[in-house]
């Protein structure tokens, strides 16, 4: 009897657990017996004659490398324009760099949000804007370089123009980094 006075049915006791265990063992034995059939009906895992390699393949000479097409004149004109845009932006950057350098130097010990700090920050932002004009030209050159490479055409002219602009932007990045660290201190 349970504490509430009800009787538990016999199926919830030890007899039920034994019944389940016996059923499970019988089912396992039957299943394993089905797997132990005649071993002679299984295929052999040895190599069959069709799986053996025989014969020779004819030797094929490699295809000649395709010589890339020279860049079209329109592309060369566009490259010249993009490099000229980057040079123009770099010239403006170099022209405004001494003024910005002086303003940042004057604001290096000033409090944040003071007049000299704000003027130096605006001058630095103008310098970054001029750098971004060179970055736009570099992005266009990157797109042209990727397109020429994917198309399999001669990308050396694009690569040369791209390297020139990368050098300009790298120098501008160094100046901006120096000025930002000077303004932050």
Query: For residue range 38-51, what is the model confidence (pLDDT) as tens digits?
Result: 656 777 788 887 77
Q: How far apart are CA 103 and CA 122, in angstroms?
A: 10
Would you say residue 42 lies in a domain? no
Would you say residue 4 lies in a domain? no
Would you say residue 82 lies in a domain? yes
Where does the pLDDT of residue 10 fall: very low under 50, low under 70, confident under 90, or very high at 90 and above? low
- The answer to whether 151 touches 138, Cβ cutoff 8 Å, is no
What percentage of the chain has pLDDT greater than the value 90? 46
- When pLDDT is averaged across residues 81-104 and rounded to a whole number, the result is 95
The tens digit of pLDDT for each residue in 152-185 reads: 888 899 999 999 999 999 999 999 999 999 887 7
Can you give the pLDDT at residue 145?
94
- When pLDDT is averaged across residues 76-94 and rounded to a whole number, the result is 95
Q: Would you say residue 17 has pLDDT above 70?
A: no
- The answer to whether 168 touches 82, Cβ cutoff 8 Å, is no
Q: Which residue has the tokens 């396992």?
A: 28
DSSP-H helix ranges across 45-114: 73-107
- When pLDDT is averaged across residues 131-154 and rounded to a whole number, the result is 92
Can you give the pLDDT at residue 28?
79
- The answer to whether 183 touches 121, Cβ cutoff 8 Å, is yes
Q: What is the tally of structural domains in the chain?
A: 1
Give the structural domain span for 136.
73-184
- Give the pair of three-digit tokens for residue 122: 């605006």
More confident residue, 132 or 154: 132
Would you say residue 14 lies in a domain? no
Would you say residue 45 lies in a domain? no
Q: How far apart are CA 98 and CA 70, in angstroms?
A: 42
Would you say residue 89 lies in a domain? yes
Would you say residue 29 lies in a domain? no
Where does the pLDDT of residue 69 fall: very low under 50, low under 70, confident under 90, or very high at 90 and above? confident
- Give the pair of three-digit tokens for residue 19: 């019944």
Can you give the pLDDT at residue 50?
75
Mean pLDDT of the chain: 83
What is the C-alpha radius of gyration for the chain, rounded to an integer number of angstroms? 40
- The answer to whether 138 touches 170, Cβ cutoff 8 Å, is no
- When pLDDT is averaged across residues 110-135 and rounded to a whole number, the result is 91
Can you give the pLDDT at residue 112?
84
SS3 percent helix, strand, coil of the chain, rounded to 5, is: 70, 0, 30
From its phi and psi, is residue 119 left (phi > 0), alpha (psi between -120 and 50) or beta? Answer: alpha
Q: Which residue has the tokens 């930002």?
A: 180
Can you give the pLDDT at residue 34?
63
């Amino acid at each position: 009897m349970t504490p509430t006075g009800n009787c538990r049915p016999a199926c919830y006791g030890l007899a039920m657990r034994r019944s389940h265990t016996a059923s499970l063992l019988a089912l396992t034995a039957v299943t394993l017996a089905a797997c132990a059939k005649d071993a002679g009906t299984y295929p052999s895992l040895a190599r069959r004659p069709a799986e053996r390699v025989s014969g020779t393949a004819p030797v094929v000479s490699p295809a000649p490398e395709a010589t890339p097409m020279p860049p079209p004149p329109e592309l060369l004109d566009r490259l010249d324009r993009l490099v000229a845009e980057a040079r123009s932006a770099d010239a403006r950057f170099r022209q405004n760099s001494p003024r910005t350098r002086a303003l940042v130097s004057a604001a290096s010990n000033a409090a944040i949000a003071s007049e000299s700090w704000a003027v130096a920050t605006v001058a630095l932002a103008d310098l970054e804007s001029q750098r971004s004009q060179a970055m736009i030209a570099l992005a266009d050159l990157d797109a042209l370089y990727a397109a020429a490479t994917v198309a399999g055409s001669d990308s050396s002219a694009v690569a040369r123009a791209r390297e020139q602009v990368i050098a300009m932007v790298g120098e501008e990045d160094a100046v901006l980094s120096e000025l930002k660290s000077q303004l932050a201190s």
